[in-house]
Every structure is written in C-alpha cells, then in structure tokens.
Amino acid sequence: MNNVRWEVTDPLDNKICLSEKNFRDHIIGRHDTKDAKVRAAIEPQAKFAVEHPRFIIRDLQYSGRVKYLSLTDIKDKNKIYIRTITVVVESNGEIVTWFARRTINDNLEKGAVIYDAGNNNLQV
C-alpha cells in the first residue's frame, strides 16, 4: 500500500495499516471541525487498540470487515471521559475509520467474537 501512515501487528499476527489517504479523506476529512480534532487526537489510542484490543469482532454490517474494541480516555478541558474506541478494518488489513463512543452498540451473533483478550480459551 502506498503512503502508509503507520503499520502494526495485531494479537492474531495480522499486519494492520493506516494510509495517509484514509486518515486525511475519511477519518478526519468527513467530519466537522470538532469531531475531526477529537479523531486526530485519539490516533495514538486507535493504534494501541489495534495492537492491544480487548475484543476483535466481525462487522455484521459489512462482510469482511472486523472491529477492534478497546477503552480510551478523552480529555476535554478539566474533564476526562472514558469511552469505547472502535477501529474498523477491511479484510486486506487497511483501517477504514475509528470512533469513540459512550456505549457499545454492537449486537453480536454467536461466532462474531474473533478475539477476546480476557478469555484465553476462546476458539475461533
């Protein structure tokens, strides 16, 4: 892939990368100024979430995509918010987007969890 911003290896030994184009055009480019600023600021946490996710789950809306879920902190003036960070990755290992939310809204079907850092006995 051309113009790789960064590349990491996930716990399942997959190479995951972020292109400059996806970062510029999708992750921050399609959002208002405030949201783009937050998304840019949590880039290190997004990278960490791929390297050390709590869960990796199948994306039920888009076949072939997976989501890396972790927790992160968002600093805003005198407050710190704990949020779930989700990093969405295509089957080719390219990061599509990431976002932080107050809650997890994924309803999972049996077999949707690919990796669970809290369950060493998980069979994929």
Nearest one of 89, 18, 27, 86 to 54, comparing CA atoms:
86
d(CA 42, CA 80): 13
Tell me the sheet residues that pair with 100. Answer: 85
Q: Is residue 58 part of a domain?
A: yes
d(CA 29, CA 46): 17
Number of domains making up the chain? 1
Give the global pTM: 0.87
Q: Is residue 124 part of a domain?
A: no
Contact 65, 88 (CB under 8 A): yes
Where in the sequence is the domain holding 57, given as residue range(s)? 4-110
- The DSSP symbol for 91 reads T
Q: Is residue 59 part of a domain?
A: yes
Q: Is residue 118 part of a domain?
A: no
d(CA 83, CA 109): 23
Q: Is residue 92 part of a domain?
A: yes
Angle of helix 33-41 relative to helix 43-51, nearest 10 degrees, comes to 50
Q: Is residue 123 part of a domain?
A: no
Q: Is residue 117 part of a domain?
A: no
Contact 22, 4 (CB under 8 A): no
Tell me the sheet residues that pair with 59. Answer: none
Q: Is residue 116 part of a domain?
A: no
- The DSSP symbol for 94 reads B
Per-residue pLDDT in tens (0 to 9) along the chain, 124 residues: 569 999 999 999 999 999 999 999 889 887 788 878 888 988 999 999 999 999 999 998 899 999 999 998 887 788 888 889 999 999 999 999 999 888 777 667 777 889 989 886 555 5
